[in-house]
Amino acid sequence: MQKERPKFLELTSIRLPIPGIVSILHRVSGVGIFLCLPLLLWLFSGTLATESGFETYRAWVSNPLIILILIGLLWAYNHHFLAGIRFLFLDMHKGLELQTARATAKMVFVGGLVLTALIVAGVWVL
């Protein structure tokens, strides 16, 4: 006897496993990095042009909102990098077992946060 399939999906009740969350965050982080690339290039070019340009850069980067955006982009880069390595191993058919896939997804998620915290703490001390 077959189960009756639902007629519609209630998206608010669906709970993704951690590998699915890491996969979605990998895509979101890639889009975020791509969309914010002009901002990053503009900020970096301001440090190289002139002394007044560097002062403008310092004024922008001292804004708390810009600091949060830059920390978010740093997390996006770290997460995207680590998840990309994980996906390369999955493409080589390594780590496909359920327990390994969950463990590596957790490592990517935690590793991105830890790397971001370490880099922010290191920059803050300087």
95 — alpha (psi -120 to 50), left (phi > 0) or beta? left
The CATH number assigned to the domain with range 18-125 reads 1.20.1300.10
Average pLDDT over every residue of 116-124: 95
pLDDT at 43: 81
Q: How many residues does the chain have?
A: 126
The confidence score (pLDDT) of residue 125 equals 85
Structure tokens at 5: 């399939």
pLDDT score, position 115: 98
Angle between helical axes of 64-91 and 18-48 (0-180°, round to 10): 130
Chain segment 40-80, per-residue pLDDT in tens: 888 888 778 788 888 888 888 899 999 999 999 999 999 99
**Alpha-carbon span 20 to 107, nearest angstrom:** 14
Whole-number pLDDT of residue 15: 86
Domain definitions of the chain by residue range: 18-125
This prediction has a pTM of 0.84
> Following CA atoms 51, 56, 62, 63 in sequence, which dihedral angle do they give, to the nearest 10 degrees?
180
pLDDT bin (cut points 50, 70, 90) of residue 6 is: low
1 pLDDT higher than 70 = no
Residues with Cβ < 8 Å from 19, sequence gap 6 or more? 101, 102, 105
Q: How far apart are CA 94 and CA 35, in angstroms?
A: 32
